[in-house]
Structure formats: C-alpha cells, structure tokens
Amino acid sequence: MYLAHPTRIWKAGGSDRMIEFARSKGFAPVHPFSCGDFCDFEGGIVGREGTLQWTLHLQRGCHWSGYFGISDGVMRELQDRLRWDEEKRIRVFYEDDAGVPFDPEWEAQYDVLKKKYGDLLAKLRGPHRMIALVGPSAVGKTYWIERLIRAHGERPWDPLFRKLRWIPFLKSLSDGRLMRVKNTTTRPPRDERDGHYYNRVSEKQFLEGVENREFLEHDSYLGNYYGSSLSEIKGVLRENDGIFAITPKGALELYKCRHEINVSIVLLRPANEEVLLKNFKRRGEKDMAKLAESIRRAKEFVLPVHVNHQVLELTGTRDDEERVLGLMGSLLK
C-alpha cells in the first residue's frame, strides 16, 4: 500500500504511526519518504515538482493506496489514482482505531483544495449509498430490509438490462437499485430465506477469516459470530445502493469508511419490550432464557453521538411502515 500523506506530518514524526496502522490492517506499507533522503528529493536538487512526478509513478506500482491526510500533493496523488484505477483500490484513513485523526488539518485543507481539484472524495464515493440497519434481535431488521427491497429493489427486467449495459440508456435504467449486502455468520439458519442475508461458515472458518483480516469488522452476539466485508459492500455500491444489518461495533467501523463510501446508519429501536416479544412469537421462539437475554441485550444497541445516524423507534403498529419507508426514501434520493 502506498501511504499518501502531507510532508508536514512526516516532518512532525507522524509517519511511523501510519506505517504500523497499515500493517495492522494487513497491508505492506510503501512509505515515499523512506524511499530516498528528503534533502535529495523534495528538499534538494530534484525539487518538489520532480518529487511529485516520482511519487505518482511509485503509487502506480502499488496495488493499494491509503490516504492519511490532505495537502496539495496528496490531492494530486488521489486525482491521478482515480484517473487510472477503475477498481478504486483506495482506502481513506481519517483516524486510527482509537478515533484519533491522522491529520488535524484535514477539513481545513480539503475545503481550500477542493476549489482547485474538485470534490475528489465525492468522486471516490460515487453516486450510490449504503444503508446500515442497527438494532437488537427481533426488532425487525430482516422484515424491513425485505420490505425496502420490494419498494426500491431489483425489477424483473434489470438482469437483462445489465447484460446489455454496453448500451448507455439501458445501463442507466438498471443502475441504482437497492440490493442487500450479505454478512458472514456462524449462526444456524432460521428459515430458507436466511441464505439471502448471510454467507454461513463454521466457527473455525470464521476465525480463520479473522486471522486473515477478511472482515471490516466482526463481533459476537448471543453465542454466534458475525462479520462484514468491505469488498462485498463496495462490490454492491459499484452499480447499486445497498442495505444490510450490522452490529453497533460494526456500525462504528463502517462509519470510519465515510470518506470512501456514502453511508447512512439507521438505529432501529423498539418502543417497548412488547415489540420484541411480538416478533419473537412470530418466529416461534419459546426459549425463555434466550428471550430474556435478547431483551436485556437490546439495551446495549446504542451508538455514540459522534457517529452520525438516524433513530427510528418502532411501535409494532401500522405507523411504522410510513415512517420507515419515508426515511429510507429520503436517504436514497
């Protein structure tokens, strides 16, 4: 991974932090300031312009680029990568795992340089949006995903249009539908439809995936493992809007990707315990200990204030449909 960051961060001694962070995410870091002495390149005979031309070539030799700050040089590197990398093998790291920003001047620099380069991060994110539903078991996440896909999802003729996508008019008609993103889980299937929502693996396979850093995030809930893949999320977003359910921990990790994907997080909250009990009854769940644990854990489904999200309180009445469809319709405009 090519590590793109401003010279000022290198001068302040912040590069090592980025190098270790990239390694922790499973990348082999290529640090441009370590590929030659500064006094010979940007600070010497090669000069700034010559150094930037060299770093653009260096970046082209890297399978990934990671952007850790904003400067004129970084914007040129991002602009160049967007020109030639159709797969957008680009990660944007605004903050570390503790939530500490890598570049305190990010917003101020971007506002200034956007006038010169345009909104490159918006170009990276593209036109499509990922909606992540967060909520406790039995709040109705699966039901609402199915309902929203019926309202905004694939139409019968879309698969044919995608085969003919070389015709611009037909491509535009088949793009932008709402599609579900599959999570990975060890949870046993509830019914025959469960396979539409999850890639099911054994606990051993899941833990191997964690070891191989296959997941954007992973968590355990009621004795089962859950994980989500950023590559699967981006695969859906190349041509369509996406929707899936995620844990609070997963929502925190997804929110960190907000500079590289358009993400909206919606917290589904039951108005009372009766909403959950009614949905558990529909499932045929009779294990009282599991019911009690699920209701207790429901109180843990909250998100920090700094994570931008919407809250929908579900009452289990007909009013829910109008409110859910109204909110999702506004997010998908």
CATH code of 275's domain: 3.40.50.300
317, amino acid identity: T
In the chain, how many domains are there? 2
CB neighbours of 77 closer than 8 A, spacing ≥ 6? 2, 4, 52, 55, 56, 59, 65, 67
DSSP symbol at 30? B
Residues 180 and 304 in one domain: yes
Residues 278 and 185 in one domain: yes
pTM of the entire predicted model: 0.84
Residues 65 and 138 in one domain: no
Instruction: Specify the pLDDT at position 137.
Output: 85
Give the C-alpha separation, 224 to 263, whole Å: 26
Domain span holding position 166: 129-331
Residue 256: closest CA among 265, 266, 245: 265
- The answer to whether the beta carbons of residues 270 and 276 sit under 8 Å apart is yes
Residues 183 and 87 in one domain: no
Instruction: Specify the pLDDT at position 157.
Output: 45
Instruction: Specify the pLDDT at position 154.
Output: 61
CB neighbours of 313 closer than 8 A, spacing ≥ 6? 269, 270, 271
Kindly give the confidence (pLDDT) of every residue in the chain, 333 residues in length, as a single tens digit, with 9 standing for 90 and above. Answer: 999 999 999 999 999 999 999 999 999 999 999 988 888 898 899 899 999 999 999 999 999 999 999 999 999 999 999 999 999 999 999 999 999 999 999 999 999 999 999 999 999 999 999 999 999 888 989 899 999 998 887 654 455 544 555 555 544 444 558 999 988 999 888 777 777 778 899 999 999 988 888 888 888 877 889 888 888 899 999 999 999 998 888 899 999 999 999 999 999 999 998 888 888 888 787 777 778 888 888 888 889 999 999 999 999 999 999 999 999 989 987
